[in-house]
């Protein structure tokens, strides 16, 4: 009787290694990844605040109007004398356009901005008792005030999270991090509002703006100094850990 060949156990199939739980495998909008991004921002910018110097909701409103197409640094150079001359909505409502234009000329588009801040002052005096209104609907009824400006004032002065402020830094970095794909600030804001906790809408914008100025620059991001780098898969990274 021929000897039976020993039966060979089939070779165990190699189990594929579980991919590391990182930026590439989680997906850009995975809750864990978003939480990690928010944690990293808290670590890097624990006390991030609005960069526009102001002492009241009125001063912040005017400064935000002036910041359109202008740096916050430039606005902060202009507003001390502007508010010294016209410290309240009532005072600014009485100012002439040439006076305002001369004071804000270096912020760019100064004629339109002068009309906006004068018009906003006049409406605040006539319809809101001289006080900056505290609702989105009322704020955007003011001359020169769109949703972004209203969200800045509501968030910073009144602690109301009505939206995510999307300036050039937030627009750029949200797309770099894969948190949004929109082609306009309005589209990016809606995407961010869907994925971020509402409690973070205000602080997220301040932190990302600081991050954009200090680290994640438009032309050459300083990825080697970025604590968000392990979570980032942007194609224009300048350094990879």
Q: Where are the domains positioned within the chain?
A: 57-158, 163-229
167 is catalytic: yes
- Which CATH architecture group holds 163-229? Orthogonal Bundle (1.10)
**Averaged over 193-200, what is the pLDDT?**
98
Higher pLDDT, 20 or 36: 36
32 is catalytic: no
pLDDT of residue 1: 46
- Other C-beta atoms within 10 Å of 168: how many? 12
From 39, 148, 222, 236, the catalytic residue: 148
- Other C-beta atoms within 10 Å of 206: how many? 21
Spell out the residues 6+ positions from residue 7 whose beta carbon is closer than 8 angstroms to its own.
none
In this structure, are residues 75 and 52 in contact, taking their beta carbons and an 8 Å threshold?
yes
Kindly state the helix (H) or strand (E) to which residue 84 belongs, with its residue range. Answer: helix 72-85
Domain 57-158 superfamily per CATH? Hypothetical protein; domain 2 (1.10.340.30)
pLDDT-derived band at 19 (thresholds 50, 70, 90) equals: very low
Task: Give CA separation, 91 vs 83, 94, 151, 158, in Å.
Answer: 9, 5, 25, 23
What is the distance between the alpha carbons of residues 33 and 101, in angstroms, rounded to a whole number? 47
What is the distance between the alpha carbons of residues 3 and 164, in angstroms, rounded to a whole number? 79
From 115, 160, 167, 237, the catalytic residue: 167
pLDDT-derived band at 172 (thresholds 50, 70, 90) equals: very high
């Amino acid at each position: 009787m021929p000897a039976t060949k020993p039966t060979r156990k089939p070779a165990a199939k190699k189990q594929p290694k579980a991919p590391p739980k990182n930026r590439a495998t989680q997906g850009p909008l995975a809750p864990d990844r978003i939480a990690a991004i928010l944690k990293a921002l808290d670590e890097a910018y624990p006390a991030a605040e609005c960069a526009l110097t102001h002492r009241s909701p009125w001063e912040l409103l005017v400064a935000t109007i002036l910041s359109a197409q202008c740096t916050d640094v430039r606005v902060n150079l202009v507003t001390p004398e502007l508010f010294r001359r016209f410290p309240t909505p009532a005072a600014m409502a009485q100012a002439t356009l040439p006076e305002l234009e001369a004071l804000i000329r270096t912020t760019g588009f100064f004629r339109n901005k002068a009309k906006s801040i004068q018009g906003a002052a006049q409406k605040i005096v006539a319809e809101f008792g001289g006080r900056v209104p505290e609702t989105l609907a009322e704020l955007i009824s003011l001359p020169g005030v769109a949703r972004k400006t209203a969200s800045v004032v509501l968030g910073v002065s009144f602690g109301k999270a009505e939206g995510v402020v999307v300036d050039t830094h937030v627009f750029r970095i949200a797309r770099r991090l894969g948190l949004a794909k929109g082609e306009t600030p309005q589209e990016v804001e809606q995407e961010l509002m869907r994925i971020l906790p509402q409690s973070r809408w205000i602080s997220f914008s301040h932190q990302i703006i600081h991050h954009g100025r200090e680290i994640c620059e438009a032309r050459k991001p300083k990825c080697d100094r970025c604590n968000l780098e392990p979570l980032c898969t942007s194609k224009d990274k300048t350094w990879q850990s």
